[in-house]
């Protein structure tokens, strides 16, 4: 099928040197994960769609950022002039190498050498995007178009937002990253199953959505955010009893997208 699924924030392989350098414990660091999202979409390959999943954690290297979105306050000495030090993500402490964890606490108690950022980008960010770019292009060549579903989870209460989060947030960069029919189809799928769905608020799509989504070139990207309360205990980072039913719904979504791909993205 002309679909690719990606989970860039569900990695759980914490390097010993990372844990040693962090001033936070492993459980606190794990609050930044999109925990278990790769497992929720694990049925994709059996249905004919590749699933790309990062194994390194988001707190170590965030692949939903530019390669070089870095906070100069985190590093020893001056950063190269070509580093993006002024993006809103960097300002929020959530660049390619995060300054803070999900609870707002600083991850490190000291400055890092720039060589550490280079190591993480070369070892993690670049291979992930090489693989993702290859899957997208292979799918586009084979089918004439590609639909990438960028899979994420979100805290049940987003920082800075007073109203409760919905069950699902669909991000299509305000209509610029994929065909409108794709967003409408996924929205209708979840609404029919009594999920509360919202578009582009508060997540309109990160780097992956905006960088790869080029509908005019037959590449469509939709970011899908799932409220963690639907499938896990957030403080303990453990699956809940609803995990299997949510996973079954996501497998049904994959099948539905496959069945309607022709009308949605013109293949």
- Band the pLDDT of 177: cuts 50, 70, 90: very high
What is the rounded average pLDDT of the residues 150-171?
86
pLDDT reported for residue 135 = 98
Q: Does position 162 have pLDDT exceeding 80, yes or no?
A: no
What is the rounded average pLDDT of the residues 223-233?
97
In this prediction, what percent of the chain has a pLDDT beyond 90?
A: 95
pLDDT in tens, 32-49: 999 999 999 999 999 999
Contact 4, 49 (CB under 8 A): yes
HEC readout, the chain: CCEEEEECCCCCCCCHHHHHHECCCHHHHHCCCCCCHHHHCCCHHHHCCCEEECCCCCCCCCCCCCCCECCHHHECCCCCCCCECCCHHHHCCCCCCCCECCCCCECECCCECHHHHHHHHHHHHHHHHHHHHHHHHHHHHHHCCEEEEEEEEECCCCCCCCCCCCCEEEECCCCCCCCHHHHHHHHHHHHHCCCCEEECCCCCCCHHHHHHCEHHHCEEEEEEEEEHHHCEECCCCEECCCHHHHHHHHHHHHHHHHHHHHHHHCC
The answer regarding whether domain 3-265 maps to CATH 3.40.50.1950 reads no
What is the rounded average pLDDT of the residues 12-32?
96
Q: Does position 163 have pLDDT exceeding 80, yes or no?
A: no
What is the rounded average pLDDT of the residues 57-68?
98
- Band the pLDDT of 160: cuts 50, 70, 90: low
- Residue 226 structure tokens: 């799932």
- Band the pLDDT of 72: cuts 50, 70, 90: very high
Residue spans per domain, the chain: 3-265
Q: Could you tell me how many residues make up the chain? A: 267
pLDDT reported for residue 164 = 82
């Amino acid at each position: 099928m002309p679909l690719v699924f990606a989970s860039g924030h569900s990695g759980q392989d914490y390097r010993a040197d990372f844990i040693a350098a962090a001033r936070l414990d492993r459980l606190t660091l794990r609050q930044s994960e999109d925990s278990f999202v790769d497992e929720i979409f694990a049925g994709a390959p059996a249905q004919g769609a590749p699933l790309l999943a990062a194994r390194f954690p988001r707190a170590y290297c965030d692949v939903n950022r530019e390669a070089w979105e870095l906070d100069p306050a985190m590093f020893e000495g001056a950063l190269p002039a070509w580093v993006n030090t002024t993006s809103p993500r960097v300002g929020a402490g959530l660049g390619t190498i995060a300054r803070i964890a999900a609870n707002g606490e600083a991850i490190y108690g000291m400055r890092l050498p720039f060589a550490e950022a280079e190591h993480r980008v070369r070892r993690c960010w670049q291979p992930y995007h090489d693989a993702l770019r290859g899957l997208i292009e292979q799918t586009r060549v084979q089918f004439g178009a590609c639909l990438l579903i960028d899979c994420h989870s979100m805290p049940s209460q987003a920082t800075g937002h007073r109203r409760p989060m919905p069950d699902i947030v669909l991000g299509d960069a305000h209509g610029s990253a994929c065909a409108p029919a794709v967003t409408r189809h996924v929205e209708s799928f979840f609404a029919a199953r009594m999920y509360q769905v919202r578009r582009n608020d508060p997540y309109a799509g990160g780097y992956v959505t905006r960088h790869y989504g080029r509908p005019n070139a037959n590449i469509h990207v939709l970011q899908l955010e799932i409220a963690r309360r639907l499938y896990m205990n957030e403080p303990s980072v453990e699956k809940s009893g609803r995990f299997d039913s949510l996973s079954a719904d996501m497998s049904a979504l994959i099948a539905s997208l496959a069945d309607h791909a022709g009308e949605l993205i013109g293949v």
